[in-house]
């Protein structure tokens, strides 16, 4: 798959693409990433890419023309038929929040053109003409779309075969369908006692059935406490067993008796 990233700050991506376990995806070509700076497609000695907003107000707005020329250069290099062009994605507060199902869909796709906005945003005419989809990381505002693009690329790269040391590792991530969309359980490592805090006895028992039961209960308890809507979604999907429901009823009974 190939992701073309249109950004005024390509240097922000370079260390990310060469660091950590996900660099395997980029080095191997499983996930190809090409960086494009719209300033290279701007006019004048100063290569201006922004201007003041019509109607007044603070901040600057990214010009449509350099972005359009840059996108046209991307499409020319990709040489894709018009009917199967890669979607153009803008990171924006009005977009749908990125979640695991979205990442999974992108990880199985042919890629996209990612637009990283800056300043007060992009000229709306460019968005109306070229943008196919908008994505948000949540209800907060970043200085630009670069961090959001890096987040998407990282999440997609780690799902590619051979990228993680253990092929099944991502199957145990929070939100994964393999865990019925629940949060992951707590994890522990050596030493067995750290600053007078021990490891749960079950994890030291060597009884794998008991360990898996404990982990399931921890996932249920954590999801109930922190993300109850995920638990309800799993229930509506029919993913909770009778044992799960019995454990959850026990938690409810315990909490109702606490002072």
158 catalytically annotated: yes
120 catalytically annotated: yes
Q: What is the DSSP letter of 122?
A: B
Cross-sheet strand order for the sheet of 32-36: 32-36, 2-6, 111-115, 88-97, 133-136
User: In whole angstroms, what separates CA 76 from the centre of its chain?
Assistant: 28
Length of the chain: 259
Of the residues 65, 80, 154, 173, only one is catalytic, namely 173
Cβ atoms within 10 Å, residue 110: 13
Of the residues 65, 120, 154, 184, only one is catalytic, namely 120
Of 51, 76, 73, residue with least CA distance to 64? 51
Cis status of the peptide bond prior to 226, with omega within 30 of 0 = no
177 catalytically annotated: no
Of the residues 158, 216, 219, 224, only one is catalytic, namely 158
Of the residues 15, 93, 177, 200, only one is catalytic, namely 93
Q: Which active-site residues does the annotation give? A: 93, 120, 158, 173
């Amino acid at each position: 798959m190939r992701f073309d990233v249109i950004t005024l700050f390509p240097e922000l991506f370079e260390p990310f693409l060469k660091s950590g376990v996900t660099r395997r995806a980029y080095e191997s070509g499983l996930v190809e990433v090409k960086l494009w700076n719209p300033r290279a497609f701007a006019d004048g000695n100063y290569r201006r890419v922004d201007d003041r907003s019509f109607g007044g107000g603070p901040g600057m707005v990214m010009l449509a023309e350099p972005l359009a020329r840059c996108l046209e250069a991307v499409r020319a290099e990709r040489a894709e038929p018009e009917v199967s062009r890669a979607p153009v994605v803008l990171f924006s507060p009005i977009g749908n929040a990125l979640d695991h199902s979205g990442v999974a869909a992108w990880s199985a796709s042919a890629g996209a053109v990612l637009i990283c906005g800056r300043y007060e945003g992009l000229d709306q005419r460019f968005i109306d003409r070229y943008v196919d989809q908008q994505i948000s990381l949540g209800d907060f505002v970043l200085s630009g779309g670069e961090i959001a693009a890096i987040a998407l690329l990282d999440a997609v790269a780690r799902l590619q075969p051979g990228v993680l040391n253990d092929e099944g590792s991502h199957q145990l991530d929070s939100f994964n369908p393999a865990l019925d969309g629940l949060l992951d359980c707590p994890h522990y490592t050596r030493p067995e006692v750290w600053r007078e805090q021990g490891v749960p006895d079950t994890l030291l028992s060597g009884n794998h059935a008991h360990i898996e039961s404990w982990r399931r209960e921890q996932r249920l308890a954590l999801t109930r406490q922190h993300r109850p809507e995920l638990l309800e979604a799993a229930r509506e999907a029919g993913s909770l067993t009778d044992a799960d429901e019995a454990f959850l009823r026990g938690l409810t009974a315990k909490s109702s008796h606490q002072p």
